[in-house]
Every structure is written in structure tokens, then in C-alpha cells.
Amino acid sequence: MTSERDGIARQFEKHRSHLRAVAYRMLGSASDADDAVQEAWLRVSRAESGDVMNLRGWLTTVVARISLNMLRARNVRREAPIDGDESVRAIPGAAPDAEQEAMLADSVGLALLVVLERLTPAERLAFVLHDMFDLPFEEIAPIVERSPAAARQLASRARRRVQGSAMTGDADFDRRREVVGAFLSASREGDFGALLALLDPDVVVRIEDVAGDPGRQRELRGAEVVLERARDFSRAARFCRLALLDGSPGLIMAPRGDLTRALVFTFAGDKITSIEVIAAPEHLRRLDVSVLEPGVFRA
């Protein structure tokens, strides 16, 4: 029995990196992904998997089902770590640290993680398994309890959200995106002259009070006043990414894919006339966030 279990463990270990990648893209958390992979190991160690022809595909399906259940559970409570069974040995090398978490987030793309978080669990699973891991809809359909055609529609809806269906080739839109991109670059580099050139002289910045009353806002009025506070934002700007916020170019701050701030801009010509800094979780959830930065589809 011990030698048989050792053989199963060796086979499972060959696919562990792949399974963790699937779970991370589903769950957006390294610790949750490791929980899902650990639960898959507990299941496979108890199942008769020796006769499975495509072990990688079978394990992918197992991890996908576990991840889907964890996503659904998030609507009710935060999933606690899955307890190990003392009769089954744990898969080695599981505990993630902050550096691993950051590397995983960077490999996926922070903006993509933010958008994935806003999909329904079924949409997220269909998109991740098909678009990122090439699973056919015939295999995805039973997991989401839909027909293959319905699973295809789930992935299609998710794809439109991820690709930013509100984007157009409109010249005004492109110019606004350039202005927001220039604002982010100047902020990161501490180029306050370039920042001043982007701001309307009467620009207003409204900053939501996240610590106290989320309905309260602090206001900064005038380009010179805003520049005085720009140094504080310069340090935070390296964590910001370009995104579509309700169809308009803006900025998001999303460490490890967890959306904590959104900067919504209004414009007059090529000048920024106002910036609203949204921080309250209930307000962030109302935003329609889509990926704007290219190159986030890195499997």
C-alpha cells in the first residue's frame, strides 16, 4: 500500500505546478490555490486513479471543481484552510510567502486578476479553463453543470469583460487614455512639471475617506495644491495600473489583484479637470472594471 501511494504521489507531483496555476487563476490567492491543490491530493489519494488515461486532464477537472466550490463559498464566508488528513501525507513545498504571491500575481497580470474577481464563478471557470488552459467546452460543461454551448457563452461573456468591450478606436478615447498613461508615468517618475502640464488649473481631487465615514471626501482644489500632495501619490503610483472604469480610462491600485483604490478621471480637452479616488469596498464593487493594459494574458 505504501509503495502504491508513493507512486501516486510521484505522479501527482509531476502535475502540481500546472494544478497550482489553474487554481491560482481561478482563486487569485496563492494560499487558496495551495488549499485547492492539497484538497485535490486528498481526493486522488483516496480514489482509484490508476486506470485514468489522461491523469493531467482528470486532475485539472478535480482542481477546477474544488476551486469553483471555493469561489461560490466566498459569497457567504471566507474559506478556511482545508485541514489535512493525518492518514495522508501532505504534498511538500506548499506554504506560499509574500514573494511567491507577488510572482504569481505578476505572471497573470494584476489588472486581469481584478477583472476575474468580478466575473461569476461559472464565467471565471469557463474563461480560465478554455482561454488559458485550452480545455474543450465538452469537458468544461459538466463542471459548471451546463451544456457545451452554454459553457461557450459563459467564456464569451467573460472574454468581453476581460478584453474591455467598452474600448473603441474613438480619437477622444485614445487621447484620454494617453493622458491617463502620461499622468501615471509622470507620477511614478516624480516629474512634477509634466504633471502640472496635464492638470487643469482648477483641477479638483476628491479622496474618499476609507478609514471613517465612506460617504465623506477630502478635496484638493487647484493644480498647485494637488502638486503639493503629488509626492505621496508618487510612492503609490508604482502599484497602479491602467484600466477601464465604467468604460473610461482610469487607474486601479490592486496589490496581488485585490482592488483597493480606483482613480476616476474627468477631462476637458487634453486637461484633467477632476480625479475621484474611490476606496470604499462597496463603491469599488459597483465599478465596471476591464483590462486596459496589453500583455496581461500570460499563462
Q: Is pLDDT at 125 greater than 90 in this prediction?
A: yes
Strand residue runs (E) in 110-216: 199-208
- Given pLDDT bands bounded at 50, 70 and 90, which one contains residue 216? low
Q: What angle do CA 27, 32, 38 make, to 5 degrees?
A: 120
pLDDT at 293: 57
Q: Which of 38, 28, 52 is nearest to 101 (CA)?
A: 28
Residue 184 pairs with which residues in a beta bridge?
none
> Would you list the DSSP string of 108-122?
H-HHHHHHHHTS-HH
Query: Does the pTM exceed 0.75?
Result: no
| 263-270 contacts, C-beta under 8 A, 24 or more apart | 265/176, 265/179, 265/180, 265/183, 267/176, 267/179, 268/200, 270/175, 270/179, 270/198
Q: By the 8 A CB rule, do 60 and 18 touch? A: yes
Q: What is the pLDDT of residues 248-295, one digit of tens each?
A: 889 998 876 678 889 999 988 889 999 999 888 888 888 888 766 543
> Which pLDDT value is given to residue 87?
33
Q: Is the pLDDT of residue 48 over 70?
A: no
Residue 233 pLDDT > 90: no
Specify the range with the lowest mean pLDDT, choosing from 75-79, 200-204, 259-263: 75-79
Q: What's the pLDDT score for residue 141?
A: 92
pLDDT for 75 equals: 57
Where is average pLDDT lowest: 4-13, 62-71, 164-173?
Answer: 164-173
Confidence of residue 64 (pLDDT cuts 50, 70, 90): very high
pLDDT computed for residue 83 by the predictor? 38
Higher pLDDT, 185 or 239: 185
| Minimum mean pLDDT range among 54-63, 70-79, 156-165, 257-266 | 70-79
pLDDT of residue 96: 46
Question: For residue range 147-201, what is the model confidence (pLDDT) as tens digits?
Answer: 888 898 898 888 877 766 444 446 778 888 999 999 999 999 989 899 999 999 9
Least confident piece of the model among 19-28, 94-103, 213-222, 264-273: 94-103
Q: In this predicted model, which residue has the larger pLDDT, 84 or 145? A: 145
